[in-house]
Amino acid sequence: MPRINSPSELEKLREEIKGKRDPNKPCITLCSGTACQASDSESVSQAFERELKRQGLEGEIDLRRTGCHGFCERGPLVVIYPEEICYTKVKPEDALEIVQSVREKKVVDCLLYTDPVTGARIKREPEIPFYENQQRIVFGPNRWIDPKNIEDYLFLGGYRALSKALFEMSPEQVLEEIKKANLRGRGGGGFPAGRKWEETKKTSREPKYVIVNCDEGDPGAYMDRSLMEGNPHSVLEGLIIGAYAIGSHEGFVYVRQEYPLAVENLEIALKQAEEYGFLGENILGSEFSFRVKIHRGAGAFVSGESSALMNAIEGRLGEPRMKYIHTAVSGIKDRPSCLNNVETWATVPLIINKGAEWFNSIGTDKSKGTKIFSLVGKVNNTGLVEVPMGMTLRQIIYDIGGGIAKGKKFKGVQTGGPSGGIIPEQYLDTPVDFDELTKLGSIMGSGGMVVMDENTCMVDTARYFINFCCEESCGKCIPCREGLRLLREILNDICEGKGKENDIELIEDIAETMRDASLCALGTTAANPVLTTLKYFGDEYETHIKEKRCPAKFCKNLIDYWIDSEKCQACMICLRNCPTEAIQGGKNLLHWIVQEKCIKCGICYEVCPPRFGAVVKLSGEPVPPPPAPGTEVVRKEGG
């Protein structure tokens, strides 16, 4: 492919690509993101290839492998264009029927998404409630783009923003536009991107660096991975525009090694961008030159912190340093270094193309645009969702997420990853933006959203996040290293029924010290999950400590399993499934649990047929005595 040397050559190429594509030609798109690959989308893809070949339809029907669509739980996803017919959980053996249906312009009803509430089968992807209530300006193009083919990105207007920035705007005008757009960083802190760019730009030392943060260490979060895998050119285009505005000629993409597909697609994208002249010397024939290197991280949560990440890029240990001086002023090799998150960079081309005013029309007063969230946990529809800032938690969890799974009650939602907090039901109508979540003691963070139901123990949840941070703390500063270790010990004790009267005061003391004295934001924010659960679910801590009882009946040391003789139908299911042979009884004989042998795995509880409901969880109550051995069961109707 010859280099593109001017904006007019770029538009000419775009017209050529458009000319090659018939909008009415059927196209089978198959999601090939990591989650769908885990559900064997590769075999589905091969089955489509074979089927198209066998039926001699290779020239008539296109096949495209795209990035993540967001609705990973229903993957592998297949969408047929131009009608946008969406098939979920597609298997290789479905390829024959789907190809036939495309040829005959029919629909395979049994593969359509079925609404769990109404039972209706929904044909078109945009009409599925999970998508209907989203505004996918950044993440949306993933579903149309083969990330390994730059032409797909160019077809959708890719690199037009770069061309506009280089030839119609000065670096100062680009910076002004980002400032006017009030774009705030999507990686955690919500710091205004324009202000950070300006700080790096104004610093006189050279060279200046720009960096993409694709470390993404939050448990359950995969927004950045999916964007990098599915639309790497959008991130690169944003980065090049930022470099132009700031006056940088060298950039890095820091991506964790555990994201092999993101690395692979990024490497391909970099190569293609260089070949086409979007990267390298005299980009698009302009005076501006810029190069990018990939740095593969070893996947440590703390290495996502700006100063730690820059240390890692320099080849040193990925540990944070004191930031008396911002990394924007003194970062890599003590040079000005502007670090932004994947989603922040990917938003930049949209702002340059459509203008700051358009961007400001989306969102709330102080948080503009959209945000991608990783909606996981006990909701019916899990996946990646992009919504305008200001949408309420209730709308996200119920309208998009389809409500709580298995008809259970909502209990709390964890936002912001391990440094975030857990928000209870009374705040479900809170509009989600940077400031509103902070007011509740949580943060938006990079967009993790874990929904919890009535069976979740909040003390155990806090313990989970503290344990995560304890393992991920670099150990360089004492308040974080020792504070987390102490918090973990106290929470372990509480969950095991060994909590003491003054534990809560002690937790609060440690949390305060960590907040005031830790070296980096891992330590200063790590206690948030404990503090918010204490604030909103304090009675659960009290019950664990004083009554040695777990109200959610979750903490192993505080529960017992018992078989209710009134309900047991001697069906033998629990008895056969118990891994320690703790269940006694027999055919037609009442079952009971030998408590000394029970390891509280809960399998008996899970396998007992719901129509009997004979296995009961107890917490804080004495276990009733077992029936006399050999007692015959009294069969109920249908038992």
Q: Binding residues for ligand FES, per CB under 6 A? A: 31, 33-36, 68-72, 75, 77
Q: Which does 35 bind (CB under 5 to 8 A by kind): ligand FMN, ligand FES, none?
A: ligand FES
Q: Which is nearer to ligand FES, 37 or 200 (CB)?
A: 37
Residue 306 has which token pair? Answer: 């700006």
Give the span between the Cα atoms of 79 and 69, in whole angstroms: 10
The 8-class DSSP code of residue 519 comes to S
Which letter, b or e, does each residue of 506-545 get, where b requires 16 or more Cβ atoms within 10 Å of its Cβ? ebeebbebbbeebbbbbbbbbbbbbbbbbebbeebbebbb
Task: Report which of 119, 116, 124, 135 is spatially closest to residue 398, judged by C-alpha positions.
Answer: 116
Task: Report which of 527, 461, 529 is spatially closest to residue 495, judged by C-alpha positions.
Answer: 461
Crossing angle of helices 503-517 and 478-495, rounded to 10°: 160
Q: Which does 188 bind (CB under 5 to 8 A by kind): ligand FMN, ligand FES, none?
A: ligand FMN
- Residue 237 as a binder of ligand FMN (CB under 6 A): the answer is no
According to CB under 6 A, which one of 26, 67, 75, 217 is a site residue for ligand FMN?
217
**Closest residue to ligand FES, Cβ-based?**
33
- Residue 302 as a binder of ligand FMN (CB under 6 A): the answer is yes
Distance in Å, CB of 549 to ligand FES, minimum: 40
Q: Which does 213 bind (CB under 5 to 8 A by kind): ligand FMN, ligand FES, none?
A: ligand FMN
Q: Which is nearer to ligand FMN, 376 or 495 (CB)?
A: 376
Site stretch for ligand FMN (CB under 6 A), options 72-80, 93-101, 299-307, 548-556: 299-307
173-192 residues near ligand FMN, rule: CB under 6 A: 185-189, 191
Residue type at position 75: G
Task: Tell me the number of residues near ligand FMN by CB under 6 A.
Answer: 23
- Residue 215 as a binder of ligand FMN (CB under 6 A): the answer is yes
According to CB under 6 A, which one of 182, 213, 234, 265 is a site residue for ligand FMN?
213
- Residue 522 as a binder of ligand FMN (CB under 6 A): the answer is yes
Q: Which does 75 bind (CB under 5 to 8 A by kind): ligand FES, ligand FMN, none?
A: ligand FES
According to CB under 6 A, which one of 162, 351, 520, 598 is a site residue for ligand FMN?
520
Give the span between the Cα atoms of 442 and 421, in whole angstroms: 4
Number of other CB atoms surrounding residue 444 within 10 Å: 27
Number of other CB atoms surrounding residue 478 within 10 Å: 14
Q: Which does 520 bind (CB under 5 to 8 A by kind): ligand FES, ligand FMN, none?
A: ligand FMN
Q: Which does 68 bind (CB under 5 to 8 A by kind): ligand FMN, ligand FES, none?
A: ligand FES
Question: Which residues fall within 8 angstroms of residue 190, CB to CB, at 6 or more apart?
Answer: 184, 367, 434, 444
Q: Which residues pair with 414 in a beta bridge?
A: 422, 450
Q: Which does 453 bind (CB under 5 to 8 A by kind): ligand FMN, ligand FES, none?
A: none
Distance in Å, CB of 223 to ligand FMN, minimum: 10
- Residue 297 as a binder of ligand FMN (CB under 6 A): the answer is no
Distance in Å, CB of 300 to ligand FMN, minimum: 9
Residue 13 has which token pair? Answer: 């190429």
According to CB under 6 A, which one of 71, 81, 301, 561 is a site residue for ligand FMN?
301
Q: Which is nearer to ligand FES, 125 or 177 (CB)?
A: 125
- Residue 33 as a binder of ligand FMN (CB under 6 A): the answer is no
Phi, psi values for residue 365, rounded to 5°: -55, -50
Q: Which is nearer to ligand FMN, 85 or 348 (CB)?
A: 348
429-458 residues near ligand FMN, rule: CB under 6 A: 446
In this structure, the strands spanning 209-214 and 250-256 are: parallel
Distance in Å, CB of 39 to ligand FES, minimum: 8
For tokens 């007019």, name the residue. 8
Residue 522 host element (H or E): helix 521-525
Residue 122 has which token pair? Answer: 């929904």
Residue 434 has which token pair? Answer: 């940077």
Distance in Å, CB of 187 to ligand FMN, minimum: 2
Q: Which is nearer to ligand FES, 39 or 528 (CB)?
A: 39
Both ends of the chain: CA-CA distance in Å? 72
Are 448 and 224 in contact, with CB atoms under 8 Å apart?
Answer: no
Distance in Å, CB of 418 to ligand FMN, minimum: 8
Distance in Å, CB of 32 to ligand FES, minimum: 7
Crossing angle of helices 342-354 and 160-168, rounded to 10°: 60
Which letter, b or e, does each residue of 1-26 get, where b requires 16 or more Cβ atoms within 10 Å of its Cβ? eebbeebebbeebbeeeeeeeeeeeb
Site string for ligand FMN, 319-358 (x = CB under 6 A): --------------------xxx--x--------------
Number of other CB atoms surrounding residue 60 within 10 Å: 12
The 8-class DSSP code of residue 128 comes to S
Give the span between the Cα atoms of 460 and 555, in whole angstroms: 7
Distance in Å, CB of 381 to ligand FES, minimum: 12
Task: Report which of 459, 462, 419, 410 is spatially closest to residue 441, judged by C-alpha positions.
Answer: 419
Q: Which does 521 bind (CB under 5 to 8 A by kind): ligand FMN, ligand FES, none?
A: ligand FMN
Contacts to ligand FMN by CB under 6 A: 185-189, 191, 213, 215-217, 301-302, 304-306, 339-341, 344, 446, 520-522
